[in-house]
Chain A
Amino acid sequence: MIQLVDVTKTFDRFAAVKGANMMVPKGAIYGLLGPNGAGKTTLLKMMAGILRQDRGTITVDGEDVWENVRVKQRLLFLPDFVYFFPHATIRQMADFYEQLYPSFSRGRFTELRSAFSLDVDQKIQQFSKGMQRQAAFWLAFSVQPDVLIMDEPLDGLDAFVRRHVKQLLIEEVAEREMTVVISSHNLRELEDLCDIVGLMAQGTVRMERDLNELRAGMHKIQVAFRGGFPSELAERLDIVHREERGSIVLLVVRGEKRSIEETVSSFAPLILDVLPLSLEEIFVYEMGDVVDVRETVVG
């Protein structure tokens, strides 16, 4: 479990993170969403023990991250621009990681060799950007960390590799209960990956939501009534959005699916369809109070 309480970080006079709070349960994939300049990278680097917060606490399983070897041995950070030693090959980097991380697994490294078809003895800097990122993933998965923190990791990967990496990530989480924090400025990138989404803007985490709860707690329905939409029904439903297309009314409603169906059915509708709601749509409605950021991440 990763917990951030009232974390603040200021560069010179610029406050990059201002009193951020965040909670990532063990085994969760946490998506940190936010526009560029929201403070995501700074927050992640503090979480990884690279930067030191000016104020507040950052703990992994109750222990401070800063200068804590025990925590950092279980935690791996994948930056937005991956770094390798100059002239290093994947084999050399693997040796390096093996000496630093007790959880590094040779077996896993060899196993993943087929997944990433990269030459282990070629200099990584001669790889393309996407290949370098794959190499970073390969090494990261071989380390088998308990906590994996990734800053915009899927940028620059083609669709095939992206799906592949996501698959590996999900497996890893399922098998080892790895905790993952992953940042992105694009909601769609995280749609089929995250359990929890945090929305960051102007240095704070504005809201945190469990996606399954969100999905279960908001629905889009299409209804039609003889004699128009009963006003009493509008009062009994928690309507987030309403749109009329002739006699058909499109509603986005908060609540459990069954109770919504029951409530609507009791007014004898001519049509009642419950339609699937995309994560994007949920966000558009859920983030009513953070309108300023909505467009950029949902875009």
Chain B
Amino acid sequence: MSAKRLSANRAMWTQNVRQIGWIAIIHLLLWLAAIVLPIGLSYSQYDPKVGNVPQWKNVYYISNGFETLIAWLVPILAAAGVLRYMHEKRSADFIHSLPIRRTELLVGQVLFGWMLLIVPLAVTALAAIGCLYGLDLPWPIGAADVGRWFGETLVMETVIFAFSIVIGVLVGQSVLHIVLTNIFLVFPAGIMVLMFSNLSLLLYGFPDMYYLSSELEQWVMPIRYAMLTDQAMSAGEIGMLLLLSLLFFGLSIWLYERRPTEAAGQALAFSVLRPLFVYGVAFCSWLVGGFYFGNVESKWSWTVFGYISFSLIGYAIAQMVIAKTWRVFHRWKGYIAFAGAMGVICLLVHLDPLGYEQRVPALADIKQVYFGQSTMNFEHPEMIGRSFQEVDQFLRSQDNIKAVRAFHEQLVHDQPSPPRFANIRTVVIGYVLKDGTRLLRRYVVPIEPYMPYFQRIMGSKEYKQQYYLLLRPGGYSPIRQVTIRNVETGRAEVVLAEPKEIESFVQALKQDLWNEPVEDIIGGGRAWQGNIELLQSDGDSFSLPLDEYNLHVRQWLEERHMWEKIEK
């Protein structure tokens, strides 16, 4: 670059400093407030007698939510600042009349914007390190933590900034620039949530939660940032995000070379994007309408109302944004076509030509079944069996496979859609077939009519044995002590420490658990008469309720005249 060209860039930079240099100051102040100030405050509040050193595992613990907000919003603000010149008509004309090539101009602006991010971050990092080493306190974090924070935060701010630059080149208004960047930041996860939850409306039994739980939020940058507290970035992730930033940057230059100057003040800079925008907004609001009404009111008429009303509003708003006027009501033909097409698509999905809803595997093909309430544990069997009462289970006995399959067939046949606040229970049914194929469905089922089905499965020996920790073979370490506490006062009324006594008590307790009716397991709304606390040899303890069904336990206690202590 020749001296003259440098001079052109210097002119723009001088101007940028005057116009948007304040963003760097705000950025710096925010980070100082989020990180350096708490360090200083902890120092001033430190009392060596108490030893109140802050419990920070890393820099993200200092003020996580606030840090996320800064790393998310400031880069967007910086992008809006450096691209403001192309979003206002007169300045767009002026700047583009100057003897600077577009690429050079954009590169200069982007670099300046990046400086608004990196300089305050570096200053904050240095200040934080200075405080940590200058203020004498046994700090739980050090320079390495600050270094990690600096690197990861810089990567995150850079990728959000670069992404926002692309959006900024695509639109013609600063407000829309900021709004759309935020929308598109949550878009990857948002659209999945909407699509899957709408599929579960159209396809009976579709386990939307199953797909939603699969690490979608990682792709929403601000959420990923918030997760840095416990999940550091790998080198691969850093590399990918930097590569992504470079791609965004390259894309924005490519787009800017083709961007008409007269786009300033328009909603979208490229006219080919307009239909995409209008129908995209209409599509998303269609899904939002279904999502909202489908979940609040599980009636079909309401869902359809949600679809139509929301998408119509979305369509009208998108048209208003494009046309920059309220008067868009003559453009209804596009909406009719859209609603018609969406209606056909939804109907097609609902008619289920692939037989998704009716699919129940043949008995001979099934290796094992999954029965429970969570879709997540189907994919993560290692998570099963950690709680005292395990609802989610894989079942292998023929009886249970038959029972679960029969329940599934009945549900597919009845397709119950209970009202929202009725006595209902989520039922998740999964299959692992002999050929390795997996199949998962999720239903919301009214409890009473299907009680026999619940009883057949959950009352089985296999299910109960896996349900209670106490019944699992090898599920617990030897019991060292049994304490029965009063529910209200928490006072220990009965304490058993003699091994023989404990052994016989636990036998009685197991008897009760084996006999416990399924209604009680499902219902759960029983009156506790006490709390049975079992201390294991490994130091862990777990507790069970003492209630009206504990006939054997009661008998056991009565025989030893301990029941009176609990009764009073």
Chain A positions near chain B (C-beta within 8 angstroms): 11-12, 45, 48-52, 67, 69-70, 72-73, 75-77, 79, 81, 83, 85-88, 92, 95-96, 99-102
CA distance A45 to B264 in the complex (A): 14
Task: Looking at the assembled complex, report how far the CB atom of A64 sits from the nearest CB atom of chain B, in whole angstroms.
Answer: 13
Task: Looking at the assembled complex, report how far the CB atom of A150 sits from the nearest CB atom of chain B, in whole angstroms.
Answer: 12
CA distance A49 to B97 in the complex (A): 6
Q: Chain A contacts of B11 at CB under 8 A? A: 95-96, 99-100
> Which B residue sits closest to A16, measured CB to CB?
B262
Q: Chain B contacts of A51 at CB under 8 A? A: 260-262
Q: Is the CB of B91 within 8 A of A83?
A: yes
Task: Looking at the assembled complex, report how far the CB atom of A63 sits from the nearest CB atom of chain B, in whole angstroms.
Answer: 13
Q: Which chain B residues (1-40) contact chain A, with CB distance < 8 Å? A: 4-5, 7-8, 10-11, 14-15, 18-19
CA distance A96 to B97 in the complex (A): 14
Q: B10, B14, B19: which contacts A86 (Cβ < 8 A)?
A: B19
Q: Is the CB of B93 within 8 A of A99?
A: no
What 0/1 pattern do residues 281 to 307 of B give for CB contact below 8 A with A? Answer: 000000000000000000000000000
For chain B, give the interface size range: 20 to 34
> Which A residue sits closest to B85, measured CB to CB?
A85
Could you give 8 example pairs across A and B, Cβ below 8 Å? A52-B261, A67-B101, A72-B98, A79-B94, A83-B94, A88-B18, A96-B15, A100-B11
Q: Is the CB of A99 within 8 A of B8?
A: yes
**B7, B11, B90, B99 — most chain A CB neighbours (10 Å):** B99
CA distance A22 to B182 in the complex (A): 47
Known A-B contacts A50-B261, A85-B19; the reply to A72 vs B97 at CB < 8 A is yes
Q: Is the CB of A79 within 8 A of B90?
A: yes
CA distance A50 to B5 in the complex (A): 19
B552 close to A (CB within 8 Å): no
Q: B7, B10, B90, B271: which contacts A83 (Cβ < 8 A)?
A: B90
Q: Is the CB of A99 within 8 A of B7?
A: yes
Known A-B contacts A11-B262, A72-B98; the reply to A79 vs B15 at CB < 8 A is no
Q: Is the CB of A101 within 8 A of B7?
A: no
CA distance A11 to B271 in the complex (A): 10
B480 close to A (CB within 8 Å): no
B510 close to A (CB within 8 Å): no
Task: Looking at the assembled complex, report how far the CB atom of B269 sits from the nearest CB atom of chain A, in whole angstroms.
Answer: 13
Q: Chain B contacts of A99 at CB under 8 A? A: 7-8, 10-11, 14
What 0/1 pattern do residues 329 to 363 of B give for CB contact below 8 A with A? Answer: 00000000000000000000000000000000000
CA distance A67 to B104 in the complex (A): 11
Q: Is the CB of B90 within 8 A of A85?
A: no
Known A-B contacts A67-B102, A83-B90; the reply to A50 vs B10 at CB < 8 A is no
Task: Looking at the assembled complex, report how far the CB atom of B82 sits from the nearest CB atom of chain A, in whole angstroms.
Answer: 14
Q: Is the CB of A77 within 8 A of B97?
A: yes
Q: Is the CB of B19 within 8 A of A100?
A: no
Q: Is the CB of B4 within 8 A of A102?
A: yes
Q: Chain B contacts of A69 at CB under 8 A? A: 5, 99-101
Task: Looking at the assembled complex, report how far the CB atom of A181 sits from the nearest CB atom of chain B, in whole angstroms.
Answer: 13
CA distance A166 to B99 in the complex (A): 26
Q: Chain B contacts of A76 at CB under 8 A? A: 97
Q: Is the CB of B96 within 8 A of A49?
A: yes
Add 7 more A-B contacts to A11-B262, A69-B101, A77-B97 (CB < 8 A).
A45-B93, A69-B5, A72-B97, A77-B93, A81-B90, A83-B94, A100-B98
CA distance A96 to B99 in the complex (A): 12
Task: Looking at the assembled complex, report how far the CB atom of B18 sits from the nearest CB atom of chain A, in whole angstroms.
Answer: 7
Q: Chain A contacts of B101 at CB under 8 A? A: 67, 69
A to B contact number (C-beta, < 8 Å): 66
Q: Is the CB of B97 within 8 A of A85?
A: no
Q: Chain B contacts of A11 at CB under 8 A? A: 262
Known A-B contacts A11-B262, A85-B15; the reply to A100 vs B93 at CB < 8 A is no
**B4, B8, B98 — most chain A CB neighbours (10 Å):** B98
Q: Is the CB of A50 within 8 A of B96?
A: yes
CA distance A88 to B523 in the complex (A): 73
CA distance A81 to B262 in the complex (A): 15
CA distance A12 to B260 in the complex (A): 11
Q: Is the CB of A72 within 8 A of B15?
A: no
Task: Looking at the assembled complex, report how far the CB atom of B23 sits from the nearest CB atom of chain A, in whole angstroms.
Answer: 15
Q: Chain B contacts of A67 at CB under 8 A? A: 101-102
Q: Chain B contacts of A12 at CB under 8 A? A: 271
Q: Chain A contacts of B5 at CB under 8 A? A: 69
Q: Which chain B residues (183-212) contact chain A, with CB distance < 8 Å? A: none
Known A-B contacts A12-B271, A99-B10; the reply to A50 vs B19 at CB < 8 A is no
A-B interface, 8 closest residue pairs, ranked by CB to CB distance from nearest: A99-B11, A72-B99, A73-B99, A83-B94, A83-B90, A77-B97, A99-B7, A69-B99
Q: Chain B contacts of A86 at CB under 8 A? A: 19
CA distance A69 to B100 in the complex (A): 6
Q: Chain B contacts of A96 at CB under 8 A? A: 11, 14-15
Q: Is the CB of A95 within 8 A of B14?
A: yes
CA distance A83 to B85 in the complex (A): 12
Q: Which chain B residues (43-101) contact chain A, with CB distance < 8 Å? A: 90-91, 93-94, 96-101
Q: Chain A contacts of B262 at CB under 8 A? A: 11, 51
CA distance A96 to B13 in the complex (A): 10
Q: Chain B contacts of A52 at CB under 8 A? A: 260-261
Q: Is the CB of B8 within 8 A of A100?
A: yes
> Which B residue sits closest to A67, measured CB to CB?
B101
> Which A residue sits closest to B88, measured CB to CB?
A83
Task: Looking at the assembled complex, report how far the CB atom of B321 sits from the nearest CB atom of chain A, in whole angstroms.
Answer: 15
Q: Is the CB of A87 within 8 A of B18?
A: yes
CA distance A102 to B96 in the complex (A): 17
CA distance A225 to B8 in the complex (A): 71
Task: Looking at the assembled complex, report how far the CB atom of B3 sits from the nearest CB atom of chain A, in whole angstroms.
Answer: 10
CA distance A69 to B99 in the complex (A): 5
CA distance A72 to B99 in the complex (A): 5
Known A-B contacts A12-B271, A49-B97, A69-B100; the reply to A100 vs B7 at CB < 8 A is yes
Q: Chain A contacts of B10 at CB under 8 A? A: 99
Q: Chain A contacts of B94 at CB under 8 A? A: 79, 83
> Which A residue sits closest to B92, measured CB to CB?
A50
Q: Is the CB of A101 within 8 A of B90?
A: no
CA distance A79 to B5 in the complex (A): 25
Q: Chain A contacts of B19 at CB under 8 A? A: 85-86
CA distance A70 to B100 in the complex (A): 9
> Which A residue sits closest to B4, measured CB to CB?
A102
Q: B7, B8, B14, B93: which contacts A50 (Cβ < 8 A)?
A: B93
CA distance A87 to B90 in the complex (A): 15
Known A-B contacts A11-B262, A95-B14, A96-B14; the reply to A83 vs B98 at CB < 8 A is no
Q: Chain A contacts of B102 at CB under 8 A? A: 67
Q: Is the CB of A101 within 8 A of B99?
A: yes
Task: Looking at the assembled complex, report how far the CB atom of A57 sits from the nearest CB atom of chain B, in whole angstroms.
Answer: 18
Q: Chain B contacts of A95 at CB under 8 A? A: 11, 14
